Structure 1
Amino acid sequence: MGVDRVFVTRRIPDEGLDLLRPVCAVDLWDDDLPPPADVLRERVRGAAGLLCLLTDPVDEALLDAAGPGLRVVSQMAVGVDNIELAACTRRGIPVGHTPGVLTETTADLAVALLLAAARRLPEAQAAVRAGEWTTWKPLWLAGRDVHGSTVGIVGLGRIGRAVARRLRGFGCRILYTGPRPVPEADEVGARFVELEELLRRSDFVTLHCPLTPQTRHLIDERALALMKPTAILVNTSRGAVVDPDALHRALASGRIAAAALDVTDPEPLPPDHPLLALPNCLVVPHIGSASVATRTRMAVMAAENLLAGLRGEPLRHCANPEVYRPPKHPPR
């Protein structure tokens, strides 16, 4: 029996690759940019495993190109909205992902963005570099207090709760919303409200929900109109949860005070995108999990999921666990 060939769609930390190389023939796309669609289809042809990133579309066309030998897909990310899970399940292909490991690191960034936008740090740094710091000025670059504020969290999952724990140290009142109340809310002192009430009452709104048909453009023209003119929006979830055109209009008109985004729609934003021209919009390039330790753990987890799938063992972190359930046969 030959050695299984696996395609890894990007340069990842060596700790993940080091787990694969002794037991697999690793075909690595050794670049920071994703492989073009035609290259991705060609390189996955005949592979037993695919280790991908959230920028790689894993759809019917790609699965057809891979052929029947593809036994496992493992994504180095928590979200899997780039993967057609139902198509993988129909073919009996388990899909791995990396939940939990990036919770604390992403929560750190969410709070960092919230603080940076509140205290207008990017504007202040730009002013210093432009030579505008002439003296101490009582009203210059005055921002918003985070301590004692009301923070609305949209999606009180692992990351949302981690953000709430951090903000309790600032004496913040925590509201949250989602499809339903969650029992863990009491642990972080968060109170459930409907989305409209959260938007109206919050000084800061931070997004931690998955991208689904229901949450796509959840923050649209109407939602932004409900927010306080002094409110600040933070997004570290998925870019398409926010309507970018509506956000630009709200920021440019002063409908809301500021936004801080780790994710955008589209992603990446082109350099001439109008959001990037606004002084009250802070944008960073999807670095929520970008600490050395966390990215290393993600690579190791993705490799371990891949190896389990190649061995025919259940994945420890599987995004489509229904793939392991026996098919239902109609009664005879």
Structure 2
Amino acid sequence: MLGLIDEFRHLFSEKAIDIYCPPVKQTLSVEELKELLPQFDGWIIGDDPANAEVFKAGHQGKLKAAVKWGVGVDNVDFKAAKELGIPITNTPRMFGGEVADVAVGYVIGLARQTFQIDREVRKGHWIKPSGISLAGKTVALVGFGDIGRNTAKRLLAFDLKVIAYDPYFQAQDDLNQVQSSVWPNRLEEADFVVLTCALTPDNYHLLNADIFAKVKPAVKIVNVARGPLIDELALIDALSSGKVHSAALDVFEIEPLPLDSPLRSFEQCIFGSHNGSNTVDAVHRASHQAIQLLFSFLGV
């Protein structure tokens, strides 16, 4: 959102609201936030560590409301904010289509090894690896919220079979071909495992050594959700043994991916930069929504 702030300055000016955008590439530290927040009435949160300590410091000053830009909320202590009487929300259903596009692009990329072919051709090689056809294959889709449903819609268009895993699964009339199961039942049927769920304390390292022992040999993994859903050490072992054929990861346990990560040695893998939602249209849409929600909380 910071890159678009000039496009939205008029919204603040019309309401005589001053805005401040800190000079930061990615996130502020807890200490920096504790120093800054007491000076402001509202806060649009990015990937910053919005924990109880930070909200308490803001509450002791002027902070009256907060909005988490985007869908993911694993960096925000909503409970702490609400206990302090600070109204807070995220911007739900902003990126379902965009992240789903990336997820399906990764499925195709892994199936046909298109990214690996591209890298080799750039090196002067002319490789012709045999891929797999998508029609008739099975996807274990973990998460059936906005992103999951949009992903399922796209997967079904490629004649893939979809098994959804979500404790709050609700059948959709337009997605009646999607089957539901309880994790990790039927996981051994899946040719692809696609993660689109939110990160919670209950699903940390959802994909771990025990799960990799259950999956179909040469399964392909896609993660467009949150890095800590996968135990990366277990994934490295599974890639090394061939139990997992390849993985497309837009997110990692540590971001950016460390230069010394063993994951980098697997040429059959595809890596992203936690960028699945980043389109001009989606960012503009979410930014406008975040601003309007904050104005509503502040009563302006």
TM-score, normalised to structure 1's length?
0.85
Larger Rg: 1
Give the SS at the match of 2:273.
coil
Cα displacement (A) at 1:92: 0.9
Q: Deviations over 1:68-93 (max 9, x none)?
A: 42111111111211111111011111
Counterparts of 1:1-332 in structure 2, within 5 Å, are 10-23=2-15, 24-53=17-46, 55-66=47-58, 67-133=60-126, 140-184=128-172, 187-311=175-299
Residue pair 1:20, 1:307 contacting (<8 A) in 2 also:
no
Q: Deviations over 1:209-264 (max 9, x none)?
A: 11111111111111111111221111111111111111111112211111111111
Q: State the alpha-carbon separation in 2 of the partners of residues 78 and 33 from structure 1.
A: 17
Q: State the alpha-carbon separation in 2 of the partners of residues 272 and 185 from structure 1.
A: 47
Shift in CA distance, 257/39, structure 1 to aligned 2, threshold 3 Å: same
Shift in CA distance, 234/198, structure 1 to aligned 2, threshold 3 Å: farther
Q: Deviations over 1:288-311 (max 9, x none)?
A: 111100011011111111111111
Q: State the alpha-carbon separation in 1 of the partners of residues 13 and 239 from structure 2.
A: 49
Residue pair 1:123, 1:279 contacting (<8 A) in 2 also:
yes
Residue pair 1:41, 1:62 contacting (<8 A) in 2 also:
yes
Give the SS at the match of 1:247.
helix
Residue pair 1:49, 1:70 contacting (<8 A) in 2 also:
yes
Q: State the alpha-carbon separation in 1 of the partners of residues 173 and 216 from structure 2.
A: 24
Give the SS at the match of 2:66.
strand
* More displaced 10-residue stretch of structure 1: 194-203 or 302-311: 194-203
The number of equivalent residue pairs is 298
Letter in 2 for 1:263: V
Letter in 2 for 1:103: G
Give the SS at the match of 1:89.
helix
Residue pair 2:70, 2:94 contacting (<8 A) in 1 also:
no
Letter in 2 for 1:191: Q
Residue pair 1:177, 1:198 contacting (<8 A) in 2 also:
no
* More displaced 10-residue stretch of structure 1: 254-263 or 41-50: 41-50
Letter in 2 for 1:198: R
Q: State the alpha-carbon separation in 2 of the partners of residues 203 and 128 from structure 1.
A: 27
State the percentage of identical aligned residues: 31
Q: State the alpha-carbon separation in 1 of the partners of residues 19 and 152 from structure 2.
A: 41
Q: State the alpha-carbon separation in 1 of the partners of residues 229 and 173 from structure 2.
A: 22
Shift in CA distance, 101/181, structure 1 to aligned 2, threshold 3 Å: closer
Give the SS at the match of 2:44.
strand
Q: State the alpha-carbon separation in 2 of the partners of residues 78 and 52 from structure 1.
A: 11
* More displaced 10-residue stretch of structure 1: 13-22 or 101-110: 13-22
RMSD across aligned positions (CA): 1.9
Letter in 2 for 1:37: V
Letter in 1 for 2:202: Q
Cα displacement (A) at 1:19: 2.1
- Greater relative contact order (Cα < 8 A, sep 6+): 1
Letter in 2 for 1:249: D
Give the SS at the match of 2:80.
helix
TM-score, normalised to structure 2's length?
0.93
Unaligned regions of 5+ residues in structure 2, if any?
none
Q: Deviations over 1:112-163 (max 9, x none)?
A: 1111111112211111011111xxx7xx321222222111111111111111
Q: State the alpha-carbon separation in 2 of the partners of residues 38 and 22 from structure 1.
A: 32
Unaligned regions of 5+ residues in structure 1, if any?
1-7, 313-332
Letter in 1 for 2:64: R
* More displaced 10-residue stretch of structure 1: 291-300 or 77-86: 77-86
